[in-house]
Amino acid sequence: MEIGVFDHLDRGDLPLNEYYEARLQLIEAYERAGFYCYHVAEHHSTPLGMAPSPSVFLAAVAQRTKRLRIGTLVYALPLYHPLRIIEEICMLDQMSGGRLDVGFGRGSSPAELIYYGTDPDNAQAIYEESLELIVRGMTQKRLSFSGPTYQFTDVPMEIEPLQQPHPPIWYGVHSPESAERAARRGLSTVSLDPVDMTQASANRFREVWREAHGDRPLPKMGLGRFIVVADTDAEAQALARRAYLRWHDSFTYLFRMNNRTIRYPRPPTFDELMTVGQGVAGSAATVTRFLREQIEATGVNYLVGQFAFGDMSPAETHASLDLFTSQVQPAL
């Protein structure tokens, strides 16, 4: 069982310049804890995401760490020209010493795509075409392609990734169907869904993986959860309840502004989040028991914690993380 981090980089109370520095210091702590990878989300025009350019933020992370893998979860492909994202990925992989993992998606918020002049109804098709292009561009010296959206002829690929044939590719799964697609493509996955949905996706992923890849070892199959640890359950839950309200307000910000339905909703309170199993706040013993049960139920091999969110202060986040790394992590 390896442990990683998922981070929306949602806005808190600090001025942005101080916020970025505090987050970079926290990521240094993730590396000291021996975590596997730091995954950052991409969002635009919303307090949910203060890393609208994940590549810029990850370039800074690459210089502040030496062993921790870094990556996106996910690049919103409809917002990128494929040639540009290929070059950014190759640069980051080279600058990080081959520590880059990349996740791709179609974008979870229609409003963010609309602000960029992209029709959300075309997002899935653009995602699929762009992903094919990006993989080709990372593995070929000259890129030629003819598709519905993009056409290229003999474009020189002057920058290549350090990892060959390319950095590991990730996908966020929300159903057995998406897990099947990821398995056939050989992708690593993360699920943020409740246990029953994650279990169904993970079971289908393993079935299709065996069909498509035989005895080849499974890639990372991740389970994403909000995690807060304190000396007592009451103390941890009080902190999580307060911080989660701020996070949830940011999470729903654009959907409320544009009167849209959230595709993958989250409960409005942390108590409800714990009830459906998508987060935990408690003592080290409580958190260990919760995570162990979920890991065993789903059969995943990678735990992805969301340790910093909402208005948690740097001191509160580090205190929670210290308890997790000293007591929960060894038990898992």
Task: Round to the nearest angstrom and report the end-to-end CA distance of the chain.
Answer: 7
Rounded Cα distance, 43 and 294, in Å: 28
Share of the chain above pLDDT 90, in %: 96
Mean pLDDT of the 10-35 span: 97
- Per-residue pLDDT tens digits for 251-295: 999 999 999 988 888 999 999 999 999 999 999 999 999 999 999
Per-residue model confidence (pLDDT) at position 264:
84
Strand duo 221-229 + 37-40: pairing? unpaired
Amino acid at 14: L
99 close to 62: Cβ distance less than 8 angstroms: yes
- Per-residue pLDDT tens digits for 113-123: 999 999 999 99
Angle at 55 between CA 94 and CA 76, to 5 degrees: 120
Per-residue model confidence (pLDDT) at position 108:
85
Phi-psi region of 293 (alpha: psi -120 to 50; beta: other; left: phi over 0): alpha
- Per-residue pLDDT tens digits for 284-323: 999 999 999 999 999 999 999 999 999 999 999 999 999 9
* 17-47: b (≥16 Cβ within 10 Å) or e: eebbebbeebbebbbebebbbbbbbbbbbbb
Q: Is the pLDDT score of 145 beyond 90? A: yes
With tokens 């909000």, the residue in question is 226
Strand duo 221-229 + 188-191: pairing? parallel
Q: Is the pLDDT score of 1 beyond 90? A: no
Amino acid at 292: R
**Cα distances (Å, whole numbers) of residue 97 to 48, 55, 69, 163:** 29, 15, 10, 9
- Per-residue pLDDT tens digits for 211-247: 999 999 999 999 999 999 999 999 999 999 999 999 9
**Consecutive H or E run containing 226:** strand 221-229
Rounded Cα distance, 262 and 269, in Å: 16
